[in-house]
Structure 1
Amino acid sequence: MNSSKGSNNKVKGEDVLRKLPRQTRKRSTRKPKPKVKKGNSTFNQIKWVLIILTFVGVGVWFGLTFSEGINYFFSRDRKEAESKSLFDFRTAEVLSRHEGKMIGLDVSHYQGDIVWADVDSVIGRASIEFAIIRSTMGVDGKDKKFKKNWKGAGANHFIRGAYHYYRPDENSLEQAKNFINTVTLVEGDLPPILDIEDFPKEQPMDSLIKGVKKWLVTVEKHYKVKPILYSGEYYYNTHLSKAFPEYTVWIANYNFFVEEIKDHWQFWQFTENGTVKGIKGKVDLNVYNGTKADIRKLLIK
């Protein structure tokens, strides 16, 4: 056997292979399959089980916590279905947790012409027993529906209250004068109410507090009764609570998860989307933290 000849043939064969077009060369197109780690698969299964259990748990908690709202919203009562809205879900829940406490509303010209003779209850669940009505705003503003609403609420035997909307950058004594000249309070009415919720643009907060104090003192001197102070919870806690600890407070808080009135709130405005027969559109609803016997102590004598 001639080994050199075999070697020469091998070299020639390799030369021919190099000269072949690239596309004729066979290459493997199979990609290696990634190895699935058993630990990762188990972790993913546990993760999804925990997610599902979390959703189920939240659903059960929600159903138990807001059972009254759910029952109301999904009830098949035809009379309720006619005017039912999603906002009534929370209203029904709040009312269920305050049985025995007084429920009321507050209105202004934004509610238009109210048919006071038809105003009787909130979603058919709780009787309305008091009405708080906007009277004045700033140094010269007067609510154009105040006189009609004041008369209508009184004629239909609601406990009445009048409130002044405080404008932070206007003279506090002139604002007090505007309220006094517009509102006549009699025995059985709520004390005068000051609504303070806006921040000043032309003065610091300490000057605002002094102005609010002047309004309260002036109005108290005229009516011989200490006014009620209205504000949002954050505004009151941050800017008013330390300056006016001795005043009856009316707090606005619409937080969905706040379902019960706090002990130091005498009044709680819990929604601005209430539904009441006799009023077109939405209206603010309130809880008084007490009974009829309790509120009599607060009323003008």
Structure 2
Amino acid sequence: MRKKIVRQRKTTVIRKSKKRSSVFSGRLLRFSIGLFVILFVFTIAYHYRDGLAYYFSFKSNHASQLEAEEKRISDVRNFQVLEKSEGKVVGLDVSEYQGDINWEKMDSLENKYPIHFVFIRATVGSDRLDKGFEENWLGAKKNKFIRGAYHYYRPNENSLEQADLFIKTVSLKKGDLPPVLDIEKLPKNQSLSRLKIGLKRWLKRVEQHYKVKPIIYTGEKYYEDFLKEEFGDYLFWIANYNFYREEIDSDWLFWQFTEKASITGIKGNIDVNIYNGDLQQLRFITVE
């Protein structure tokens, strides 16, 4: 009987020890995870301290006095990017989706970052004009913005017809930016090699007409995967909205860093771009 009782007691003691060890390990794991989350949040907050301060009006004494329509940039990252791009030129790109634009009121972001250039969508595919192009094209010129026109390329449509539509629609003047080819999608009914042939035909036709090399707009992944090597002779305007990127890459001519900014004169969100140089350098690449 005694031996049996002793065995039972030993078994009970061992079970309690395992249970206590399991509880302790669980608490330690939860504590470690909680500590990691707190440190991560603190690190992010510290990194974006200037943007957060500006966003909540602690940095600027006059921020609270701005009129309602002069909305501040909603994304703190946007402010961080603009702060780190001091000396570079800021601009927008617009299309019919922005509706009626009040060009006279549209002058700067946050009353701090002047807008110097605007890219305007002119054509889509082989048969469609942007409904707002004519008005936007004239409005940008009248209000002394450096303007540029771009074509939204449809991979499954004839490339030369698309080029001819753009040429027929856009008349570039001295001081305008080079034409832009916007390619964002992969083809459905053709190979990648055929797509590249079509892009080259569009670029060649447009260059022959305007006597200036076009710029290519695309997303960073599209650029890296399909265009970087074979189209290395062209300058690129790259879209990248990733949280981790805060400065323009040295290989990019323009960087579209957000699609969620706001500015007086335009309702809703707007794309913002940075030119990889100063205003004098921007004027140097315009049509002569």
For this structure pair, what is the TM-score category when the shorter chain's length is used for normalisation?
A: 0.7 to 0.9
Residues 140-180 of structure 1, C-alpha deviation per residue, up to 9 Å, x if partnerless?
A: 21111111101111111111000001011111111110000
Following the alignment from structure 2 to structure 1, what is the Cα–Cα distance between the partners of residues 188 and 211? 32
- Displacement of 1:273 in angstroms is 1.2
Alignment of 1:78 onto 2:64: yes
Alignment of 1:131 onto 2:118: yes
- Conserved 8 A contact 2:73-2:262: no
Q: Call closer, same or farther: CA 1:86–1:299 in 2, change over 3 Å.
A: closer
Residues 16-43 of structure 1, C-alpha deviation per residue, up to 9 Å, x if partnerless?
A: xxxxxxxxxxxxxxxx796145544554
Aligned match for 2:151, one of 132, 153, 164: 164
In the other structure, the counterpart of 2:43 is 61
- Displacement of 1:242 in angstroms is 1.4
Task: Provide the secondary structure at the position in 1 that maps to 2:50.
Answer: helix
In the other structure, the counterpart of 1:247 is 234
Residues 103-145 of structure 1, C-alpha deviation per residue, up to 9 Å, x if partnerless?
A: 0000000000000000011122311110000001111211111
Following the alignment from structure 2 to structure 1, what is the Cα–Cα distance between the partners of residues 284 and 108? 24
Following the alignment from structure 1 to structure 2, what is the Cα–Cα distance between the partners of residues 143 and 282? 18
Aligned match for 1:258, one of 237, 241, 245: 245
Larger Cα Rg: Structure 1 or Structure 2? 1
- Conserved 8 A contact 1:88-1:123: no
In the other structure, the counterpart of 1:118 is 105
Structure 1: gaps of 5 or more residues:
1-31
Aligned match for 2:76, one of 66, 72, 89: 89
- Displacement of 1:55 in angstroms is 2.3
In the other structure, the counterpart of 1:227 is 214
Task: Provide the secondary structure at the position in 1 that maps to 2:263.
Answer: coil
Residue identity in the other structure for 1:190: L
- Displacement of 1:67 in angstroms is 1.8
Q: Call closer, same or farther: CA 1:143–1:298 in 2, change over 3 Å.
A: same
- Conserved 8 A contact 2:73-2:79: no
- Conserved 8 A contact 1:95-1:125: no
- Conserved 8 A contact 1:80-1:123: no
In the other structure, the counterpart of 1:271 is 258
In the other structure, the counterpart of 1:35 is 16
Residue identity in the other structure for 1:68: D
- Displacement of 1:44 in angstroms is 4.3
TM-score w.r.t. the length of structure 2 is 0.88
Following the alignment from structure 1 to structure 2, what is the Cα–Cα distance between the partners of residues 149 and 265? 26
- Conserved 8 A contact 2:240-2:256: yes
In the other structure, the counterpart of 1:216 is 203
Following the alignment from structure 1 to structure 2, what is the Cα–Cα distance between the partners of residues 166 and 81? 39
- Displacement of 1:199 in angstroms is 1.3
- Conserved 8 A contact 1:119-1:279: yes
Instruction: Name the % identity.
Output: 47
Following the alignment from structure 2 to structure 1, what is the Cα–Cα distance between the partners of residues 241 and 25? 41
Deviates further, 215-224 or 286-295: 286-295
In the other structure, the counterpart of 1:4 is none
- Conserved 8 A contact 1:135-1:182: yes
Deviates further, 68-77 or 178-187: 68-77
- Conserved 8 A contact 1:269-1:287: yes
Q: Call closer, same or farther: CA 1:86–1:297 in 2, change over 3 Å.
A: closer
In the other structure, the counterpart of 1:145 is 132
RMSD: 2.0
Following the alignment from structure 2 to structure 1, what is the Cα–Cα distance between the partners of residues 79 and 65? 15
Following the alignment from structure 1 to structure 2, what is the Cα–Cα distance between the partners of residues 138 and 79? 45
Task: Provide the secondary structure at the position in 2 that maps to 1:104.
Answer: strand
Task: Provide the secondary structure at the position in 2 that maps to 1:194.
Answer: strand
Which structure has the higher relative contact order (CA within 8 Å, separation 6+)?
A: 2
